[in-house]
């Protein structure tokens, strides 16, 4: 892409998107250009659709297609200033599958099965405070406010700060962890090569722990966050408080957890069961 690559990279930085998103958009845009071997200036919606069809034939998922569409939309809308063409690019329909939710026993088994100290503490923190793995990895020692019982999450998704709860059990575990590790350079969870531990290192340790714990569910790092929210909901926490803890801008995003809480579904009385009872009188 040459000069266009530099312009797109600059535009991505000016939009202050996450570094991972910037890298992906640039990578996907380069893939689009390599496929056609032409400058994006000479192409438009038909070429974009042809490339998406090519990706479909390669067996790419709808989620992956969505990322490619986002990259091409950014390229044409922001870098090339061809907003009408960007608007005409269709978003692929992505199936919204309900994630597996771990039970409390599953979480306990998982943490016991995780043998590497630093990744284990990241996983415990992610579940205990409802953090994204990337947020947990980036925590610094000063972010733990033991007096107020809070964790300060700095520049989470959307470049926003927020405070989340610091569970008493997690605080005790962190104090014991501190005695063993003595984290250097201010990072709470240091990596082997300096800086904070990488999310991929934690994901690899999680995969090993899942096998050791013999869990049959599909467990990803994000499932811990889903489980945190669902467990709060099932224990009676107001969904608006859960929204703040998770850092969701919209309550609709948080509301999806009401669809995965089996205890809440099982606890609802069908109107059929109320017919002929005192509670059923309100039905007329």
C-alpha count within 13 angstroms, C-beta hemisphere, residue 139 = 31
Residue range 128-156: mean pLDDT, rounded: 89
All domains in the chain, ordered by first residue = 3-88 (1.10.150.130), 104-265 (1.10.443.10)
Q: Band of the pLDDT at 267, cuts 50, 70, 90?
A: low
Q: What is the pTM of this model?
A: 0.67
| pLDDT top residue among 250 and 161 | 161
Q: So what's the pLDDT on residue 242?
A: 80
**Whether residue 250 has pLDDT greater than 80:** no
| Catalytic residue chosen out of the listed positions 109, 225, 226, 231 | 225
Grade residue 273 by pLDDT with cuts at 50, 70 and 90.
low
Task: Note the pLDDT tens digit of each residue in 78-101.
Answer: 999 999 989 999 888 766 666 678
Band (154; pLDDT cuts 50, 70, 90): confident
Q: Cα–Cα distance between 180 and 173 in angstroms, integer?
A: 11
- Write out the two tokens for 181: 């590790």
Catalytic site residue 212? Answer: no
**Residues in contact with 178: Cβ distance below 8 Å, sequence separation at least 6, in sequence order:** none
Write down the catalytic residue from 68, 73, 132, 231.
132
Q: Is 257 part of the annotated catalytic residue set?
A: yes
Of the listed ranges 3-12, 25-34, 223-232, the one predicted with least confidence: 223-232
Predicted confidence at residue 104, as pLDDT, reads: 87
Average pLDDT of the chain is: 85
pLDDT of residue 100: 77
Task: Judge whether 225 counts as a catalytic residue.
Answer: yes
The mean per-residue pLDDT over the stretch 224-241 comes to 82
Q: How many Cα neighbours within 13 Å face the side chain of 258?
A: 13
Cα separations in angstroms, 197 against 19, 138, 192: 17, 8, 7
User: pLDDT at residue 248 above 80?
Assistant: no
Are 279 and 250 in contact by the 8 Å Cβ rule? The answer is no
pLDDT band at 246 (very low <50, low <70, confident <90, very high): confident
| Closest listed residue to residue 222, CA positions, set 153, 108, 284, 130 | 130
Catalytic residue among 211, 222, 259, 269: 222
Q: Is 27 a catalytic residue?
A: no
Residue 83: how many other CB atoms lie within 10 Å: 12
Regarding predicted confidence, which is higher, 256 or 221? Answer: 221
Q: Are 124 and 117 in contact (CB under 8 A)?
A: no
Across 37-46, 50-59, 93-102, 181-190, least confident range: 93-102
Residue 210 clears pLDDT 70, i.e. is over it: yes
Catalytic residue among 77, 82, 157, 256: 157
What letter does residue 156 receive in the DSSP assignment?
E
**Residue partners of 96: CB distance under 8 A and separation at least 6:** none
């Amino acid at each position: 892409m040459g000069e266009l690559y530099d312009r797109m990279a600059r535009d991505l930085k000016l939009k202050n998107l996450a570094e991972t998103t910037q890298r992906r958009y640039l990578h996907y845009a380069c893939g689009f250009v390599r496929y056609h071997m032409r400058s994006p200036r000479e192409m438009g919606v038909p070429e974009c659709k042809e490339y998406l069809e090519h990706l479909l034939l390669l067996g790419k998922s709808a989620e992956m297609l969505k990322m490619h569409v986002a990259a091409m939309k950014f390229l044409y809308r922001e870098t090339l200033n061809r907003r009408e063409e960007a608007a005409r690019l269709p978003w692929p329909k992505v199936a919204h599958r309900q994630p597996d939710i771990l039970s409390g026993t599953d979480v306990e088994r998982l943490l016991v099965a995780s043998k590497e100290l630093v990744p284990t503490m990241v996983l415990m923190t992610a579940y205990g405070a409802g953090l994204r793995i990337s947020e947990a990895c980036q925590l610094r020692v000063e972010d733990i406010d033991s007096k107020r019982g809070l964790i300060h999450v700095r520049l989470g998704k959307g470049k926003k700060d927020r405070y989340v709860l610091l569970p008493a059990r997690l605080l005790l575990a962190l104090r014991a962890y501190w005695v063993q590790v003595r984290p250097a350079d201010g990072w709470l969870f240091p990596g082997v090569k300096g800086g904070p531990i990488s999310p991929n290192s934690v994901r690899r340790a999680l995969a090993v722990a899942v096998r050791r714990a013999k869990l049959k569910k599909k467990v990803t790092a994000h499932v811990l966050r889903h489980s945190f929210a669902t467990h709060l909901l099932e224990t009676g926490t107001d969904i608006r408080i859960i929204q703040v803890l998770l850092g969701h801008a919209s309550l609709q995003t948080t509301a999806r957890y009401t669809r995965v809480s089996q205890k809440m579904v099982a606890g609802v009385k069908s109107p059929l069961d109320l017919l002929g009872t005192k509670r059923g009188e309100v039905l007329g």
